[in-house]
Chain A
Protein backbone atom coordinates (compact mmCIF):
# COMPACT_ATOMS: atom_id res chain seq x y z
CA UNK A 1 0.00 0.00 0.00
CA UNK A 2 2.72 2.45 0.97
CA UNK A 3 4.61 1.71 -2.23
CA UNK A 4 1.44 2.46 -4.21
CA UNK A 5 1.21 5.82 -2.43
CA UNK A 6 4.90 6.59 -3.06
CA UNK A 7 4.53 5.61 -6.70
CA UNK A 8 1.42 7.78 -7.04
CA UNK A 9 3.54 10.65 -5.77
CA UNK A 10 6.32 9.90 -8.30
CA UNK A 11 3.77 10.01 -11.09
CA UNK A 12 2.25 13.22 -9.70
CA UNK A 13 5.66 14.88 -9.43
CA UNK A 14 6.45 13.95 -12.99
CA UNK A 15 3.37 15.77 -14.27
CA UNK A 16 3.73 18.75 -11.95
CA UNK A 17 7.23 19.19 -13.33
CA UNK A 18 5.85 19.37 -16.86
CA UNK A 19 3.36 21.99 -15.67
CA UNK A 20 6.03 23.99 -13.83
CA UNK A 21 8.42 23.97 -16.79
CA UNK A 22 5.84 25.25 -19.22
CA UNK A 23 4.64 28.45 -17.52
CA UNK A 24 2.77 29.41 -20.69
CA UNK A 25 0.17 26.76 -19.74
CA UNK A 26 -0.51 28.43 -16.41
CA UNK A 27 -0.85 31.84 -18.04
CA UNK A 28 -3.22 30.60 -20.74
CA UNK A 29 -5.17 28.74 -18.08
CA UNK A 30 -5.80 32.03 -16.26
CA UNK A 31 -6.57 34.28 -19.22
CA UNK A 32 -10.07 32.93 -19.71
CA UNK A 33 -11.16 33.32 -16.08
CA UNK A 34 -9.92 36.91 -16.18
CA UNK A 35 -12.04 37.57 -19.26
CA UNK A 36 -15.12 36.06 -17.62
CA UNK A 37 -14.59 37.82 -14.30
CA UNK A 38 -13.78 41.30 -15.50
CA UNK A 39 -15.26 41.68 -18.99
CA UNK A 40 -18.37 39.57 -18.57
CA UNK A 41 -18.70 40.74 -14.97
CA UNK A 42 -18.58 44.40 -15.98
CA UNK A 43 -20.92 43.92 -18.92
CA UNK A 44 -23.65 42.26 -16.84
CA UNK A 45 -23.03 44.19 -13.63
CA UNK A 46 -26.57 45.48 -13.41
CA UNK A 47 -28.16 42.07 -13.74
CA UNK A 48 -28.17 41.70 -9.92
CA UNK A 49 -30.90 44.31 -9.80
CA UNK A 50 -33.28 41.65 -11.09
CA UNK A 51 -33.02 40.04 -7.64
CA UNK A 52 -32.46 36.48 -6.44
CA UNK A 53 -28.66 36.67 -6.53
CA UNK A 54 -28.29 36.85 -2.76
CA UNK A 55 -25.84 39.73 -3.08
CA UNK A 56 -25.71 43.25 -4.43
CA UNK A 57 -22.42 42.74 -6.30
CA UNK A 58 -22.51 40.66 -9.48
CA UNK A 59 -18.79 39.90 -9.05
CA UNK A 60 -19.54 38.21 -5.69
CA UNK A 61 -22.05 36.04 -7.48
CA UNK A 62 -19.83 35.36 -10.49
CA UNK A 63 -16.62 34.19 -8.71
CA UNK A 64 -17.84 30.67 -7.70
CA UNK A 65 -19.33 30.19 -11.18
CA UNK A 66 -16.06 31.09 -12.90
CA UNK A 67 -14.01 28.96 -10.47
CA UNK A 68 -16.10 25.87 -11.21
CA UNK A 69 -16.34 26.56 -14.92
CA UNK A 70 -12.57 26.89 -15.10
CA UNK A 71 -12.15 23.62 -13.21
CA UNK A 72 -14.26 21.96 -15.89
CA UNK A 73 -12.34 23.71 -18.65
CA UNK A 74 -8.91 22.67 -17.42
CA UNK A 75 -9.78 19.06 -16.54
CA UNK A 76 -11.88 18.05 -19.52
CA UNK A 77 -8.75 17.99 -21.69
CA UNK A 78 -6.87 15.53 -19.44
CA UNK A 79 -7.59 12.78 -21.95
CA UNK A 80 -5.47 14.57 -24.56
CA UNK A 81 -2.43 14.20 -22.33
CA UNK A 82 -3.20 10.54 -21.71
CA UNK A 83 -3.61 10.00 -25.44
CA UNK A 84 -0.23 11.61 -26.05
CA UNK A 85 1.37 9.35 -23.44
CA UNK A 86 -0.15 6.32 -25.16
CA UNK A 87 1.04 7.41 -28.59
CA UNK A 88 4.49 8.31 -27.33
CA UNK A 89 4.80 4.88 -25.71
CA UNK A 90 5.18 6.32 -22.21
CA UNK A 91 2.17 4.48 -20.77
CA UNK A 92 3.40 1.15 -22.16
CA UNK A 93 6.83 1.80 -20.70
CA UNK A 94 5.35 2.32 -17.25
CA UNK A 95 3.05 -0.68 -17.64
CA UNK A 96 6.03 -2.98 -18.16
CA UNK A 97 7.49 -1.93 -14.79
CA UNK A 98 6.25 -3.44 -11.51
CA UNK A 99 4.68 -0.06 -10.61
CA UNK A 100 1.17 -0.24 -9.17
CA UNK A 101 -1.44 0.09 -11.94
CA UNK A 102 -3.57 2.34 -9.74
CA UNK A 103 -0.57 4.63 -9.15
CA UNK A 104 -0.22 5.17 -12.89
CA UNK A 105 -3.81 6.45 -13.15
CA UNK A 106 -3.99 8.17 -9.79
CA UNK A 107 -0.87 10.24 -10.38
CA UNK A 108 -2.83 11.96 -13.08
CA UNK A 109 -5.86 12.50 -10.80
CA UNK A 110 -3.75 13.95 -7.98
CA UNK A 111 -1.87 16.19 -10.39
CA UNK A 112 -5.09 17.52 -11.89
CA UNK A 113 -6.44 18.10 -8.38
CA UNK A 114 -3.40 20.14 -7.37
CA UNK A 115 -3.53 22.21 -10.56
CA UNK A 116 -7.28 22.80 -10.14
CA UNK A 117 -6.81 23.89 -6.53
CA UNK A 118 -4.08 26.32 -7.60
CA UNK A 119 -6.21 27.70 -10.41
CA UNK A 120 -9.24 28.08 -8.11
CA UNK A 121 -7.31 29.95 -5.44
CA UNK A 122 -5.84 32.31 -8.03
CA UNK A 123 -9.32 33.11 -9.40
CA UNK A 124 -10.64 33.75 -5.88
CA UNK A 125 -7.71 36.13 -5.27
CA UNK A 126 -8.28 37.86 -8.61
CA UNK A 127 -11.91 38.34 -7.59
CA UNK A 128 -10.74 39.81 -4.30
CA UNK A 129 -8.52 42.25 -6.20
CA UNK A 130 -11.50 43.20 -8.35
CA UNK A 131 -13.52 44.03 -5.25
CA UNK A 132 -15.45 40.83 -4.60
CA UNK A 133 -16.56 40.13 -1.06
CA UNK A 134 -16.49 36.66 0.53
CA UNK A 135 -18.48 36.76 3.80
CA UNK A 136 -17.96 32.98 4.24
CA UNK A 137 -14.26 33.65 4.78
CA UNK A 138 -11.46 31.08 4.49
CA UNK A 139 -13.81 28.16 5.23
CA UNK A 140 -16.06 29.26 2.41
CA UNK A 141 -13.13 29.51 -0.01
CA UNK A 142 -11.93 26.07 1.10
CA UNK A 143 -15.35 24.55 0.39
CA UNK A 144 -15.41 26.17 -3.04
CA UNK A 145 -11.91 24.89 -3.85
CA UNK A 146 -12.73 21.35 -2.70
CA UNK A 147 -15.96 21.38 -4.71
CA UNK A 148 -14.16 22.54 -7.85
CA UNK A 149 -11.41 19.94 -7.36
CA UNK A 150 -14.04 17.20 -7.05
CA UNK A 151 -15.84 18.43 -10.14
CA UNK A 152 -12.53 18.60 -11.98
CA UNK A 153 -11.79 15.02 -10.92
CA UNK A 154 -15.12 13.84 -12.34
CA UNK A 155 -14.48 15.34 -15.75
CA UNK A 156 -10.72 14.69 -15.75
CA UNK A 157 -11.23 10.99 -15.07
CA UNK A 158 -14.02 10.75 -17.67
CA UNK A 159 -11.80 12.49 -20.19
CA UNK A 160 -8.98 10.02 -19.46
CA UNK A 161 -11.35 7.10 -19.86
CA UNK A 162 -12.53 8.52 -23.17
CA UNK A 163 -8.94 9.04 -24.35
CA UNK A 164 -8.08 5.43 -23.60
CA UNK A 165 -11.23 4.05 -25.17
CA UNK A 166 -11.52 6.01 -28.42
CA UNK A 167 -7.84 6.99 -28.83
CA UNK A 168 -8.66 9.85 -31.14
CA UNK A 169 -8.06 13.51 -30.42
CA UNK A 170 -11.01 14.44 -32.59
CA UNK A 171 -13.46 12.55 -30.39
CA UNK A 172 -12.26 14.30 -27.25
CA UNK A 173 -12.37 17.70 -28.95
CA UNK A 174 -15.84 16.97 -30.34
CA UNK A 175 -17.35 15.80 -27.07
CA UNK A 176 -15.77 18.62 -25.08
CA UNK A 177 -16.98 21.38 -27.39
CA UNK A 178 -20.38 19.75 -27.42
CA UNK A 179 -20.56 19.65 -23.60
CA UNK A 180 -18.84 22.84 -22.44
CA UNK A 181 -21.44 25.48 -23.31
CA UNK A 182 -24.64 23.55 -22.46
CA UNK A 183 -23.16 22.46 -19.13
CA UNK A 184 -22.21 26.04 -18.36
CA UNK A 185 -25.44 27.69 -19.42
CA UNK A 186 -27.61 25.02 -17.80
CA UNK A 187 -26.13 26.04 -14.45
CA UNK A 188 -26.27 29.00 -12.14
CA UNK A 189 -22.86 30.25 -13.32
CA UNK A 190 -24.10 33.56 -14.69
CA UNK A 191 -27.74 33.81 -13.72
CA UNK A 192 -29.57 33.32 -10.44
CA UNK A 193 -31.85 30.25 -10.53
CA UNK A 194 -34.83 32.52 -9.69
CA UNK A 195 -34.36 34.29 -13.01
CA UNK A 196 -34.01 31.12 -15.08
CA UNK A 197 -36.93 29.62 -17.03
CA UNK A 198 -38.30 26.85 -14.85
CA UNK A 199 -37.38 24.00 -17.26
CA UNK A 200 -33.78 25.21 -17.23
CA UNK A 201 -33.79 25.39 -13.46
CA UNK A 202 -34.97 21.79 -13.26
CA UNK A 203 -32.28 20.59 -15.64
CA UNK A 204 -29.67 22.56 -13.71
CA UNK A 205 -30.64 20.60 -10.58
CA UNK A 206 -29.11 17.52 -12.24
CA UNK A 207 -25.99 19.30 -13.48
CA UNK A 208 -22.89 18.43 -11.37
CA UNK A 209 -21.41 21.77 -12.40
CA UNK A 210 -24.32 23.43 -10.67
CA UNK A 211 -23.86 21.30 -7.53
CA UNK A 212 -20.29 22.58 -7.16
CA UNK A 213 -21.34 26.19 -7.76
CA UNK A 214 -24.29 26.04 -5.37
CA UNK A 215 -22.18 24.42 -2.63
CA UNK A 216 -19.37 26.95 -3.07
CA UNK A 217 -21.70 29.92 -3.29
CA UNK A 218 -23.58 28.89 -0.16
CA UNK A 219 -20.33 28.39 1.77
CA UNK A 220 -19.07 31.81 0.68
CA UNK A 221 -22.30 33.59 1.64
CA UNK A 222 -23.01 35.38 4.92
CA UNK A 223 -25.21 32.52 6.17
CA UNK A 224 -24.05 29.17 4.73
CA UNK A 225 -26.42 26.18 4.65
CA UNK A 226 -24.21 23.27 5.87
CA UNK A 227 -26.85 20.69 4.93
CA UNK A 228 -27.03 21.85 1.31
CA UNK A 229 -23.22 22.07 1.10
CA UNK A 230 -22.69 18.55 2.46
CA UNK A 231 -25.43 17.08 0.31
CA UNK A 232 -23.99 18.46 -2.92
CA UNK A 233 -20.39 17.86 -1.83
CA UNK A 234 -21.26 14.24 -1.07
CA UNK A 235 -22.88 13.80 -4.46
CA UNK A 236 -19.78 15.24 -6.16
CA UNK A 237 -17.52 12.95 -4.14
CA UNK A 238 -19.59 9.91 -5.14
CA UNK A 239 -19.44 10.93 -8.80
CA UNK A 240 -15.68 11.52 -8.58
CA UNK A 241 -15.08 8.07 -7.06
CA UNK A 242 -17.23 6.48 -9.77
CA UNK A 243 -15.39 8.34 -12.54
CA UNK A 244 -11.95 7.38 -11.20
CA UNK A 245 -13.08 3.77 -10.87
CA UNK A 246 -14.27 3.87 -14.47
CA UNK A 247 -10.95 5.28 -15.68
CA UNK A 248 -9.05 2.48 -13.93
CA UNK A 249 -11.41 -0.02 -15.58
CA UNK A 250 -10.70 1.47 -19.00
CA UNK A 251 -6.98 1.11 -18.32
CA UNK A 252 -7.63 -2.62 -18.17
CA UNK A 253 -9.61 -2.55 -21.38
CA UNK A 254 -6.77 -0.57 -22.96
CA UNK A 255 -4.40 -3.36 -21.96
CA UNK A 256 -6.65 -5.89 -23.66
CA UNK A 257 -6.54 -3.94 -26.89
CA UNK A 258 -2.77 -3.50 -27.24
Chain B
Protein backbone atom coordinates (compact mmCIF):
# COMPACT_ATOMS: atom_id res chain seq x y z
CA UNK B 1 0.00 0.00 0.00
CA UNK B 2 1.26 3.46 -0.70
CA UNK B 3 0.76 5.66 2.28
CA UNK B 4 3.20 8.40 1.58
CA UNK B 5 1.15 11.09 3.24
CA UNK B 6 3.85 13.09 4.92
CA UNK B 7 2.59 16.44 6.10
CA UNK B 8 5.68 17.49 8.02
CA UNK B 9 6.86 21.00 7.25
CA UNK B 10 10.58 21.59 6.60
CA UNK B 11 11.11 23.04 10.09
CA UNK B 12 9.75 19.89 11.66
CA UNK B 13 11.75 17.66 9.38
CA UNK B 14 14.98 19.14 10.65
CA UNK B 15 14.24 18.02 14.21
CA UNK B 16 14.82 14.41 15.19
CA UNK B 17 11.63 12.42 15.80
CA UNK B 18 10.41 12.68 19.39
CA UNK B 19 9.51 9.00 19.39
CA UNK B 20 10.92 6.32 17.15
CA UNK B 21 10.18 2.64 17.65
CA UNK B 22 11.33 -0.11 15.32
CA UNK B 23 10.16 -3.69 15.16
CA UNK B 24 8.92 -3.97 18.75
CA UNK B 25 7.95 -7.51 19.71
CA UNK B 26 6.53 -8.44 23.09
CA UNK B 27 5.12 -11.76 24.14
CA UNK B 28 3.62 -12.23 27.59
CA UNK B 29 3.79 -15.50 29.51
CA UNK B 30 1.19 -17.87 28.13
CA UNK B 31 2.20 -17.10 24.53
CA UNK B 32 0.09 -13.97 24.26
CA UNK B 33 1.70 -11.91 21.51
CA UNK B 34 0.99 -8.32 22.42
CA UNK B 35 3.29 -6.70 19.86
CA UNK B 36 4.35 -8.22 16.61
CA UNK B 37 6.70 -5.85 14.82
CA UNK B 38 5.40 -2.48 15.96
CA UNK B 39 6.83 0.62 14.24
CA UNK B 40 6.01 4.13 15.39
CA UNK B 41 7.54 7.47 14.45
CA UNK B 42 6.28 10.67 16.02
CA UNK B 43 7.63 13.99 14.78
CA UNK B 44 8.58 16.46 17.50
CA UNK B 45 5.90 18.98 18.38
CA UNK B 46 3.00 17.02 16.93
CA UNK B 47 0.05 15.05 18.28
CA UNK B 48 0.12 11.43 17.21
CA UNK B 49 -2.73 9.00 17.71
CA UNK B 50 -2.41 5.24 18.09
CA UNK B 51 -5.83 3.97 17.22
CA UNK B 52 -7.11 0.46 17.69
CA UNK B 53 -9.43 -1.80 19.62
CA UNK B 54 -8.67 -3.08 23.12
CA UNK B 55 -5.90 -5.64 23.07
CA UNK B 56 -4.41 -4.33 19.81
CA UNK B 57 -1.12 -3.51 21.55
CA UNK B 58 -1.46 0.22 22.19
CA UNK B 59 -0.91 0.08 25.93
CA UNK B 60 1.99 -2.34 25.61
CA UNK B 61 3.62 0.08 23.17
CA UNK B 62 3.19 2.91 25.66
CA UNK B 63 4.59 0.75 28.48
CA UNK B 64 7.72 0.05 26.47
CA UNK B 65 8.16 3.68 25.39
CA UNK B 66 7.74 4.86 28.99
CA UNK B 67 10.36 2.34 30.30
CA UNK B 68 7.86 0.26 32.27
CA UNK B 69 8.17 -2.84 30.12
CA UNK B 70 11.01 -4.24 28.05
CA UNK B 71 10.42 -5.54 24.54
CA UNK B 72 11.56 -9.06 23.56
CA UNK B 73 13.16 -7.49 20.50
CA UNK B 74 13.19 -4.22 18.63
CA UNK B 75 14.43 -0.79 19.64
CA UNK B 76 12.99 2.56 20.59
CA UNK B 77 14.15 6.07 21.35
CA UNK B 78 12.15 8.77 23.11
CA UNK B 79 13.34 12.38 23.05
CA UNK B 80 16.56 11.08 21.55
CA UNK B 81 17.30 8.60 24.35
CA UNK B 82 17.30 4.84 24.00
CA UNK B 83 14.59 3.36 26.23
CA UNK B 84 16.65 0.25 27.00
CA UNK B 85 20.09 1.79 27.47
CA UNK B 86 19.15 5.06 29.16
CA UNK B 87 15.75 4.60 30.82
CA UNK B 88 16.66 7.30 33.35
CA UNK B 89 17.14 9.95 30.68
CA UNK B 90 13.88 8.91 29.05
CA UNK B 91 12.03 9.20 32.38
CA UNK B 92 13.27 12.76 32.83
CA UNK B 93 11.95 13.74 29.42
CA UNK B 94 8.50 12.16 29.50
CA UNK B 95 5.18 12.72 31.18
CA UNK B 96 2.89 9.73 31.49
CA UNK B 97 -0.86 9.69 31.94
CA UNK B 98 -1.75 6.03 32.14
CA UNK B 99 -5.21 4.51 32.01
CA UNK B 100 -5.09 4.26 35.80
CA UNK B 101 -2.88 7.07 36.88
CA UNK B 102 -3.24 6.19 40.52
CA UNK B 103 -3.41 9.53 42.24
CA UNK B 104 -3.27 8.95 45.98
CA UNK B 105 -6.94 9.02 47.07
CA UNK B 106 -6.20 10.05 50.65
CA UNK B 107 -3.87 12.88 49.62
CA UNK B 108 -5.15 16.21 48.29
CA UNK B 109 -4.75 17.28 44.68
CA UNK B 110 -2.00 19.68 45.66
CA UNK B 111 -0.13 17.03 47.66
CA UNK B 112 -0.26 14.61 44.74
CA UNK B 113 1.18 17.24 42.41
CA UNK B 114 3.88 18.25 44.87
CA UNK B 115 5.08 14.68 45.39
CA UNK B 116 5.19 14.09 41.64
CA UNK B 117 7.28 17.23 41.21
CA UNK B 118 9.62 16.23 44.02
CA UNK B 119 10.21 12.81 42.47
CA UNK B 120 11.30 14.72 39.37
CA UNK B 121 13.76 16.69 41.49
CA UNK B 122 11.74 19.92 41.71
CA UNK B 123 11.56 21.87 44.96
CA UNK B 124 11.07 25.23 46.65
CA UNK B 125 9.15 28.11 45.13
CA UNK B 126 9.70 26.77 41.62
CA UNK B 127 7.65 23.71 42.51
CA UNK B 128 5.02 25.74 44.39
CA UNK B 129 4.54 28.06 41.44
CA UNK B 130 4.29 25.21 38.97
CA UNK B 131 1.72 23.38 41.12
CA UNK B 132 -0.42 26.55 41.46
CA UNK B 133 -0.18 27.12 37.73
CA UNK B 134 -1.38 23.60 36.93
CA UNK B 135 -4.19 23.67 39.49
CA UNK B 136 -5.37 26.92 37.93
CA UNK B 137 -5.06 25.67 34.41
CA UNK B 138 -6.99 22.45 35.07
CA UNK B 139 -9.60 24.31 37.17
CA UNK B 140 -8.69 22.38 40.29
CA UNK B 141 -7.73 25.36 42.46
CA UNK B 142 -10.89 25.14 44.54
CA UNK B 143 -10.50 21.40 45.05
CA UNK B 144 -6.76 21.59 45.67
CA UNK B 145 -7.10 21.11 49.43
CA UNK B 146 -9.59 18.26 49.24
CA UNK B 147 -8.60 14.58 49.21
CA UNK B 148 -8.71 13.10 45.71
CA UNK B 149 -11.19 10.40 46.76
CA UNK B 150 -13.91 13.05 46.69
CA UNK B 151 -13.15 14.12 43.10
CA UNK B 152 -15.44 13.43 40.15
CA UNK B 153 -14.19 11.29 37.26
CA UNK B 154 -13.48 14.35 35.14
CA UNK B 155 -11.59 16.11 37.96
CA UNK B 156 -9.50 13.01 38.56
CA UNK B 157 -8.62 12.77 34.90
CA UNK B 158 -7.63 16.44 34.82
CA UNK B 159 -5.44 15.87 37.86
CA UNK B 160 -3.88 12.85 36.10
CA UNK B 161 -2.94 15.01 33.13
CA UNK B 162 -1.59 17.71 35.45
CA UNK B 163 0.52 15.04 37.19
CA UNK B 164 2.03 14.14 33.83
CA UNK B 165 2.93 17.77 33.16
CA UNK B 166 4.45 18.92 36.47
CA UNK B 167 8.06 18.70 35.31
CA UNK B 168 7.40 20.21 31.84
CA UNK B 169 8.11 17.06 29.83
CA UNK B 170 9.15 17.06 26.18
CA UNK B 171 6.93 14.13 25.30
CA UNK B 172 3.57 13.45 26.89
CA UNK B 173 1.95 10.00 26.74
CA UNK B 174 -1.81 9.90 27.10
CA UNK B 175 -3.11 6.34 27.34
CA UNK B 176 -6.83 6.40 26.61
CA UNK B 177 -7.31 9.83 28.18
CA UNK B 178 -11.10 9.89 27.92
CA UNK B 179 -12.10 6.27 28.53
CA UNK B 180 -14.79 6.13 31.18
CA UNK B 181 -15.59 9.84 31.07
CA UNK B 182 -19.10 11.11 30.46
CA UNK B 183 -19.64 12.99 27.16
CA UNK B 184 -19.38 16.41 28.78
CA UNK B 185 -16.11 15.63 30.56
CA UNK B 186 -14.79 14.04 27.37
CA UNK B 187 -15.42 17.18 25.34
CA UNK B 188 -13.73 19.27 28.03
CA UNK B 189 -10.73 16.92 28.00
CA UNK B 190 -10.51 17.16 24.22
CA UNK B 191 -10.42 20.94 24.43
CA UNK B 192 -7.68 20.68 27.03
CA UNK B 193 -5.57 18.30 24.95
CA UNK B 194 -6.15 20.53 21.94
CA UNK B 195 -4.74 23.48 23.89
CA UNK B 196 -1.75 21.46 25.07
CA UNK B 197 -0.85 20.51 21.53
CA UNK B 198 1.93 22.57 20.11
CA UNK B 199 2.51 24.39 23.39
CA UNK B 200 6.23 24.75 24.16
CA UNK B 201 6.93 22.28 21.41
CA UNK B 202 5.25 19.51 23.41
CA UNK B 203 4.93 16.21 21.58
CA UNK B 204 1.88 14.12 22.46
CA UNK B 205 1.40 10.43 21.79
CA UNK B 206 -2.13 9.43 22.60
CA UNK B 207 -3.78 6.06 22.38
CA UNK B 208 -7.49 5.72 21.96
CA UNK B 209 -10.13 3.32 20.81
CA UNK B 210 -12.45 6.16 19.89
CA UNK B 211 -12.17 6.92 16.20
CA UNK B 212 -13.67 10.33 16.74
CA UNK B 213 -11.01 11.18 19.30
CA UNK B 214 -8.11 10.33 17.00
CA UNK B 215 -9.76 12.16 14.11
CA UNK B 216 -10.27 15.25 16.20
CA UNK B 217 -6.99 15.49 18.10
CA UNK B 218 -4.23 13.80 16.16
CA UNK B 219 -2.29 15.25 13.26
CA UNK B 220 -1.17 11.77 12.34
CA UNK B 221 -2.79 8.48 13.13
CA UNK B 222 -1.51 4.92 13.10
CA UNK B 223 -4.10 2.19 13.08
CA UNK B 224 -2.99 -0.73 15.21
CA UNK B 225 -4.32 -4.23 14.87
CA UNK B 226 -3.01 -7.43 16.43
CA UNK B 227 0.25 -5.91 17.63
CA UNK B 228 1.32 -3.97 14.56
CA UNK B 229 0.56 -0.83 12.61
CA UNK B 230 -1.60 -1.62 9.61
CA UNK B 231 -1.62 1.87 8.17
CA UNK B 232 -0.60 5.38 9.15
CA UNK B 233 -1.00 8.92 7.87
CA UNK B 234 -3.01 12.04 8.52
CA UNK B 235 -6.70 11.37 9.22
CA UNK B 236 -7.64 13.29 6.06
CA UNK B 237 -5.18 11.42 3.89
CA UNK B 238 -6.35 8.09 5.24
CA UNK B 239 -9.94 8.98 4.59
CA UNK B 240 -8.99 10.36 1.17
CA UNK B 241 -7.46 7.03 0.25
CA UNK B 242 -10.92 5.60 0.37
CA UNK B 243 -12.58 6.74 -2.78
CA UNK B 244 -16.14 7.88 -2.49
CA UNK B 245 -18.87 7.20 0.01
CA UNK B 246 -19.59 4.21 2.18
CA UNK B 247 -22.97 2.57 1.80
CA UNK B 248 -23.89 0.25 4.64
CA UNK B 249 -26.89 -2.01 4.50
CA UNK B 250 -28.14 -4.05 7.42
CA UNK B 251 -30.13 -7.15 6.46
CA UNK B 252 -32.73 -8.98 8.50
CA UNK B 253 -31.04 -12.30 7.78
CA UNK B 254 -27.56 -13.19 6.53
CA UNK B 255 -27.04 -13.42 2.78
CA UNK B 256 -26.53 -16.89 1.34
CA UNK B 257 -23.94 -17.95 -1.26
CA UNK B 258 -26.38 -17.58 -4.16
CA UNK B 259 -27.41 -14.14 -2.94
CA UNK B 260 -23.79 -13.00 -2.88
CA UNK B 261 -23.18 -14.09 -6.44
CA UNK B 262 -26.28 -12.27 -7.54
CA UNK B 263 -25.22 -9.16 -5.66
CA UNK B 264 -21.71 -9.16 -7.12
CA UNK B 265 -23.17 -9.55 -10.60
CA UNK B 266 -25.58 -6.66 -10.15
CA UNK B 267 -23.04 -4.27 -8.64
CA UNK B 268 -19.92 -5.38 -10.45
CA UNK B 269 -20.85 -3.75 -13.73
CA UNK B 270 -21.94 -0.50 -12.14
CA UNK B 271 -19.58 2.42 -12.80
CA UNK B 272 -18.11 4.05 -9.71
CA UNK B 273 -18.59 1.05 -7.39
CA UNK B 274 -15.27 -0.07 -5.96
CA UNK B 275 -15.62 -2.53 -3.16
CA UNK B 276 -18.36 -4.84 -2.04
CA UNK B 277 -17.98 -6.53 1.32
CA UNK B 278 -20.45 -8.94 2.89
CA UNK B 279 -20.12 -9.85 6.53
CA UNK B 280 -23.04 -11.79 7.93
CA UNK B 281 -26.00 -9.44 7.93
CA UNK B 282 -23.95 -6.40 6.88
CA UNK B 283 -23.21 -5.39 3.33
CA UNK B 284 -20.74 -2.54 2.77
CA UNK B 285 -20.19 -0.93 -0.59
CA UNK B 286 -17.78 1.81 -1.55
CA UNK B 287 -19.03 4.00 -4.38
CA UNK B 288 -18.13 7.36 -5.95
CA UNK B 289 -21.74 8.39 -5.72
CA UNK B 290 -23.26 6.69 -2.73
CA UNK B 291 -26.77 7.97 -3.29
CA UNK B 292 -26.86 6.59 -6.84
CA UNK B 293 -25.67 3.18 -5.70
CA UNK B 294 -28.41 2.75 -3.11
CA UNK B 295 -31.33 1.95 -5.46
CA UNK B 296 -29.20 -0.49 -7.45
CA UNK B 297 -28.00 -2.18 -4.29
CA UNK B 298 -31.50 -2.42 -2.85
CA UNK B 299 -32.81 -3.77 -6.13
CA UNK B 300 -30.15 -6.44 -6.24
CA UNK B 301 -30.81 -7.42 -2.66
CA UNK B 302 -34.52 -7.69 -3.31
CA UNK B 303 -33.88 -10.01 -6.23
CA UNK B 304 -31.64 -12.05 -3.95
CA UNK B 305 -34.55 -12.33 -1.55
CA UNK B 306 -32.85 -10.49 1.29
CA UNK B 307 -35.00 -8.22 3.44
CA UNK B 308 -33.29 -4.91 4.22
CA UNK B 309 -33.47 -3.50 7.76
CA UNK B 310 -31.53 -0.26 7.35
CA UNK B 311 -29.45 1.47 4.70
CA UNK B 312 -27.07 4.39 5.31
CA UNK B 313 -24.79 6.47 3.14
CA UNK B 314 -21.80 8.01 4.88
CA UNK B 315 -18.74 10.05 4.06
CA UNK B 316 -15.57 8.06 4.73
CA UNK B 317 -14.61 7.84 8.41
CA UNK B 318 -11.68 6.29 10.21
CA UNK B 319 -14.00 3.37 10.86
CA UNK B 320 -13.98 2.73 7.13
CA UNK B 321 -10.21 3.05 7.09
CA UNK B 322 -10.02 0.49 9.84
CA UNK B 323 -12.37 -1.83 8.00
CA UNK B 324 -10.31 -1.62 4.89
CA UNK B 325 -6.86 -2.16 6.41
CA UNK B 326 -7.62 -4.45 9.31
CA UNK B 327 -10.07 -6.43 7.23
CA UNK B 328 -12.81 -6.29 9.83
CA UNK B 329 -15.23 -3.81 11.21
CA UNK B 330 -13.89 -1.72 14.07
CA UNK B 331 -16.74 -2.49 16.45
CA UNK B 332 -16.31 -6.22 15.92
CA UNK B 333 -12.64 -6.12 16.82
CA UNK B 334 -13.44 -6.19 20.49
CA UNK B 335 -14.58 -2.77 21.65
CA UNK B 336 -18.32 -3.00 21.17
CA UNK B 337 -20.60 -0.32 19.86
CA UNK B 338 -18.91 2.50 21.79
CA UNK B 339 -16.22 2.70 19.17
CA UNK B 340 -18.69 3.68 16.51
CA UNK B 341 -19.13 7.11 18.07
CA UNK B 342 -17.28 8.59 15.12
CA UNK B 343 -18.72 6.36 12.40
CA UNK B 344 -21.14 8.27 10.23
CA UNK B 345 -21.02 11.93 9.47
Contacts and interface: CB of A to CB of B under 8 A. Distances in A.
Interface of A: 3, 7, 10, 14, 17-18, 21-22, 85, 87-99, 255-258
B91 A90 contact: no
A94 B119 contact: yes
A185 to B, nearest CB: 36
Given A18-B106, A92-B98, A97-B120, 20 more contacts: A7-B118, A10-B119, A14-B107, A17-B106, A18-B104, A88-B100, A88-B102, A88-B105, A89-B102, A90-B102, A91-B102, A92-B68, A93-B102, A94-B119, A95-B67, A96-B66, A98-B119, A98-B121, A255-B68, A256-B70
Contact of B119 (A18, A21, A99, A257): A99
A98 B92 contact: yes
B88 interface: yes
A7 B119 contact: yes
B68 A96 contact: yes
Contacts of B101: 89, 93
B94 interface: yes
B102 A14 contact: no
A258 B118 contact: no
Contacts of A257: 28-29
Contacts of B120: 97-98
B239 interface: no
Interface string B232-267: 000000000000000000000000000000000000
A22 B67 CA distance: 34
A96 B67 contact: yes
Interface in B156-171: 163
Contacts of A97: 91, 116, 119-120
Interface residues of B, number: 32
Contacts of B88: 98
B90 to A, nearest CB: 9
A contact patch SS: helix
A96 B104 contact: no
12 contacts: A10-B119, A14-B107, A22-B106, A89-B98, A90-B104, A93-B163, A96-B67, A96-B94, A96-B98, A97-B120, A98-B121, A99-B119
Given A14-B104, A14-B107, A96 B96 contact: yes
B37 to A, nearest CB: 20
B168 to A, nearest CB: 14
B315 interface: no
Interface in B292-344: none
Nearest to B66: A96
B189 to A, nearest CB: 18
Contacts of B69: 255-256, 258
Centre residue among B94, B100, B119, B147 by max chain A CB count within 10 A: B119
